[in-house]
Amino acid sequence: MIRAVVRGIGHYLPQRVVTNQDFEKTLDTSDEWIRTRTGICQRHFASDGEKTSDMAVSAAREAIETSGVSPNDIDLIVLATSTPDQTFPSTATKVQAELGMCQGFAFDIQAVCAGFIYALANANALLTARQARRALVIGAETFSHILDMRDRSTCILFGDGAGAVLLEAQDQAGGRQDRGILSSEIRSDGRHRHLLYVDGGVSTTQTSGFIRMNGPEIFRHAVEKLAESSAMAMQKAGLTRKDVDLMVPHQANLRIIHATAKRLGFPHEKIITTVDKHGNTSAASIPLALYDAQKCGKLREGQIVISNAIGGGLTWGSIALRW
């Protein structure tokens, strides 16, 4: 059978680092409050003129380089973002052009913080259906542009960045030892869209708007839904919690991550966290965390990984894969 196997990974973080202490200068907040409620110490913000596509291209180039393929060996780009360069065309087509790719197809996915899980699930479906052979799956965001810097309950949470993985369709035996994506589980429930949204848009205000959020309600949904969908992805892949080497979750809040892991029965040493240094980079957070985990030697070829994410919509999902 065909599996979508990870061949390479890349990342990009803007140079500008904004610490909690920086927010203390302009807001009624404190480093202590932010750290204890969220686990965040700092985040990166894009510089003036630095666009989502610029960050996506940098991450994609590194993923291509580490894969040892050339851009013309790639025939699919799925780019998850809620902060595209323009309303249209898609940021994915811009990345395609910047990489010098002249074949295949490219499109954006908008599932907010669950975007990278949605993108992986969609790329996996296209690769296993033989619609493409190699896919760049990218999460890239400039959330700093949709933050209301006077709203202390949201602006301290988010950051900018990009991550990318290169997936390749490979023939595998179809067993549990196969590398690649083993299962996916994606969900949404639009009845909860008022809990986390942007108060602008092309057909409503003709502005891009700012993030608005009911934090405690999102927290409650997050732990329940992330644990449930991860359990479902594990079940679909025939895995028990003991088979899982690492949980690489969306990085929104350390307390959400720990509560989810507790429900799933994963000890802290199996959890990858980058929320302290990146904040919540929405669709970019999982590939950035995967990158970090691989770089520091915690994530190695052959290991079983569970990734999960939830975002505005609500949208949520989980992926089980063998790295």
Ligand X SMILES: CC(C)(COP(=O)(O)OP(=O)(O)OC[C@H]1O[C@@H](n2cnc3c(N)ncnc32)[C@H](O)[C@@H]1OP(=O)(O)O)[C@@H](O)C(=O)NCCC(=O)NCCS
Shortest approach of ligand X to residue 43 CB, angstroms? 13
Residue among 279, 311, 313, 317 that touches ligand X (CB under 6 A): 311
Among the listed residues 221, 250, 253, 308, the single catalytic one is 250
155 belongs to the catalytic site: no
The answer to whether the beta carbons of residues 181 and 3 sit under 8 Å apart is yes
Shortest CB 119 distance to ligand X, Å: 16
Among 35, 37, 145, 263, binds ligand X (CB under 6 A): 37
The kind and range of the H/E element at 246 are: strand 246-247
Cα 175 from Cα 170, distance rounded (Å) = 13
Per CB under 6 A, 25 contacts ligand X = no
Q: Listing from the earlier edge strand, what are the strands of the sheet with 2-12?
A: 2-12, 160-171, 134-142, 76-80, 105-109
Structure token pair of residue 320: 């089980």
* Binds ligand X (CB under 6 A): choice among 29, 128, 131, 208: 29
Report the alpha-carbon distance of residue 208 to residue 204 in Å, rounded. Answer: 10
Examine residue 106 and tell whether it contacts ligand X (CB under 6 A).
no
**Is residue 42 at the binding interface for ligand X, with CB under 6 A as the rule?**
no
Identity of the residue, 69 or 213, whose beta carbon is nearer to ligand X in the bound complex: 213
> Peptide bond before 314: cis, by omega within 30 degrees of 0?
yes
Cβ neighbours for 283, distance < 8 A, ≥ 6 positions apart: 80, 81, 82, 111, 112, 113, 114, 115, 116, 119, 139, 140, 141, 311
Kindly state whether residue 216 participates in binding ligand X, applying the rule CB under 6 A.
yes
Nearest residue (CB) to ligand X, 20 versus 294: 20
SS3 content of the chain, % helix, strand, coil (to 5): 40, 25, 35
Least distance to ligand X, CB of residue 185, Å:
17
Choices 148-156, 175-183, 264-272, 291-299 (CB under 6 A): range interacting with ligand X? 148-156
Q: Is 221 among the catalytic positions?
A: no
The yes or no reply on residue 162 touching ligand X (CB under 6 A) is: no
- From 28-36, 83-91, 271-279, 296-304, span contacting ligand X (CB under 6 A): 28-36
Of 244-303, which residues contact ligand X (CB under 6 A)? 252-253, 280
Q: Is 142 in the site for ligand X (CB under 6 A)?
A: no
CA pair distance 118, 29, nearest whole angstrom = 34
Residue 101, SS3 per DSSP: coil
Q: Which is nearer to ligand X, 31 or 243 (CB)?
A: 31
Q: Is 113 a catalytic residue?
A: yes
Give the H or E element holding residue 33. helix 31-38
Dihedral sign computed on CA atoms, order 203, 209, 214, 220: positive
Which residues are tagged catalytic?
113, 250, 280
List residues near ligand X by CB under 6 A: 29, 33-34, 37-38, 113, 152-153, 156, 213, 215-216, 218-219, 252-253, 280, 310-311
